[in-house]
Structure 1
Amino acid sequence: PRAVFAIGIMLLANLGDTVAEFAGIGAALAIFGVPIWLSSALAALAIIFLLSRANFRRIQFVFLAVGIGTSFAYAISAFWARPDWGAALSHTFIPHGSATGLYLVAVMGTVGTTITPWGQAFIQSYAADKHLGPKDLYASRLDVGAGAFLTNVVAAFIVIACAATLWAHGQTTIASAADAAKALGPLAGRFAELLFALGLLTASLLGLGTVPLTSAYAVTEAFGWESGLDRSWRQAPAFYALLAFFVGFSALFVLIPGLPLILVMYLSQVFDGILLPFILVFVMLMSRDRRLLGRLRSNRALYAAGWVVTGLISLLSLALVASQIVGTR
């Protein structure tokens, strides 16, 4: 029952994330005049074709290329915005926050998009799909550590670029990606505007390739069904059916007339942050289970650090809920 509950929470969060990825693709391509129905259809067909026609060892290089594109787009945007690097460095180590409800929502969204419920399962699943074993544990840890570090560096570039342009000029309300891009144009140049669109597009494509995949992995592994990108549709029907459902449902959902795409993307990450403690508690309980992991279970230092992080995120979730109840702005 505990595992079913955790998987249910993850699937709920993943569905919201997949919708958000389609929203990101639609918002990015809308800058170039592409209608949402066309961008959703093309993205859905492309991702289903990619995931059903190649094994993970090949697909990982596609993910890597898209990730590099995202990283360069946002990094160049940050430098192009000509920020105050001294202030950026200072605020990195001495943050300036507040206890308002809106600030807590923003922090929760940042946590939700950085740690993510789906990320807790994806790493394990792709290790299994690549047929990695205990002998590959050291290399896998380096892989995950490098990825986590680079992800946060890219996130820092995004924050710096927006702070030096939008925030510095009082542009704090963004209703669409087009609004953000148009605001960036006069402040940082047409090049930064195009890079913003490219970064949003590639980041959303990367998420679209991983979040539905995680959902399919989680369910099929839990029930012992055949799974993996090395399998064909006939060999793993449930795996590919789940992939198709998450992609198809989300592609249709973003076609709702008047749907605020940027708000959908934002709130999905807040939702992730709120649900994250449920997933982390489950992960922490498993990480020291000798029956499951044997000698590979977490050591005491990692176990303690994991519970500290889980506790902090749980407190943040409670603080956010409390702020909304009492109406703190």
Structure 2
Amino acid sequence: MTEINSSTDAAKALGPVAGKFALMVFATGIIGIGLLAVPILAGSAAFAVGEACRWPVGLERQPKEAMAFYTTLASAAMLGMAIIFMSIDPIRALYWSAVTNGICAVPVMVVMDANDGALRSHGRVSLAGLAAGLSFGSLPARWSCLWLASRSNG
């Protein structure tokens, strides 16, 4: 099997390795990933929104002192779990979330650096600053490859 368009296809692809246990192995992996991903993604979203809005953030804070942070954390977790009940193709959602991350990550790093110079040290560009510059500079080429790949896949 070389083309995977659904969760069922992904489970079937495990057949040569897991045999009759392929569905069980796939289900265990998906459930495990979900149990790991929902709190991590919800937490990172809450931290990102909270820090951008300059709210008190952190799991070490009591809910009374970081109400907006905990509200964002709970909302993101509920949204992540609600996606299960929507008619969203999980493979397509995974693909588009990766595309969105690839498009947004580098410009966000550049804006963060412009705001506080975090990637520079003592007036010189650090190794992290050089890596960010290369990432940002190669973005048009990566977008072009993504566009070409999407055109060739139908």
Tell me whether the two structures share a fold, i.e. TM-score over 0.5: yes
Q: Is the 8 A contact 1:284 1:307 kept in 2?
A: no
Counterpart in the other structure of 2:127: 301
Structure 2 residue 11 is the aligned partner of structure 1 residue 173: no
Cα deviation, 1:247-274, whole Å, max 9, x if unaligned, reads 22332233124x3222222222122222
Structure 2 residue 88 is the aligned partner of structure 1 residue 246: no
Q: Is the 8 A contact 1:277 1:314 kept in 2?
A: no
Counterpart residue type for residue 131 of structure 2 = A
22, 30, 39: which is aligned to 1:209?
Answer: 39
Counterpart residue type for residue 175 of structure 1 = S
Counterparts in 2 of 1:261 and 1:217: CA distance versus 1, 3 Å: same
Aligned-pair CA distance for 1:294: 8.4
193, 196, 200: which is aligned to 2:30?
Answer: 200
Structure 2 residue 51 is the aligned partner of structure 1 residue 221: yes
TM-score (normalizing by structure 2) = 0.75
* Aligned residue pairs, count: 151
Aligned-pair CA distance for 1:237: 0.7
Counterpart in the other structure of 1:312: 138
Aligned-pair CA distance for 1:286: 5.0
* Structure 1: unaligned runs, 5 residues or longer: 1-169
Q: How far apart are the structure 2 equivalents of 1:235 and 1:297?
A: 37
Counterpart in the other structure of 1:276: 105
Q: Is the 8 A contact 1:175 1:260 kept in 2?
A: yes
Counterpart residue type for residue 85 of structure 2 = L
233, 239, 245: which is aligned to 2:63?
Answer: 233
Q: How far apart are the structure 1 equivalents of 2:101 and 2:115?
A: 21
Q: How does 1:25-40 map to 2 (within 5 A)?
A: none
Structure 2 residue 85 is the aligned partner of structure 1 residue 255: yes
RMSD (Å), alpha carbons = 3.1
Q: Is the 8 A contact 1:284 1:306 kept in 2?
A: no
83, 91, 94: which is aligned to 1:265?
Answer: 94
Aligned-pair CA distance for 1:304: 1.9
Q: How far apart are the structure 2 equivalents of 1:282 and 1:311?
A: 14
* Greater relative contact order (CA < 8 Å, ≥ 6 in sequence): 1
TM-score (normalizing by structure 1) = 0.39
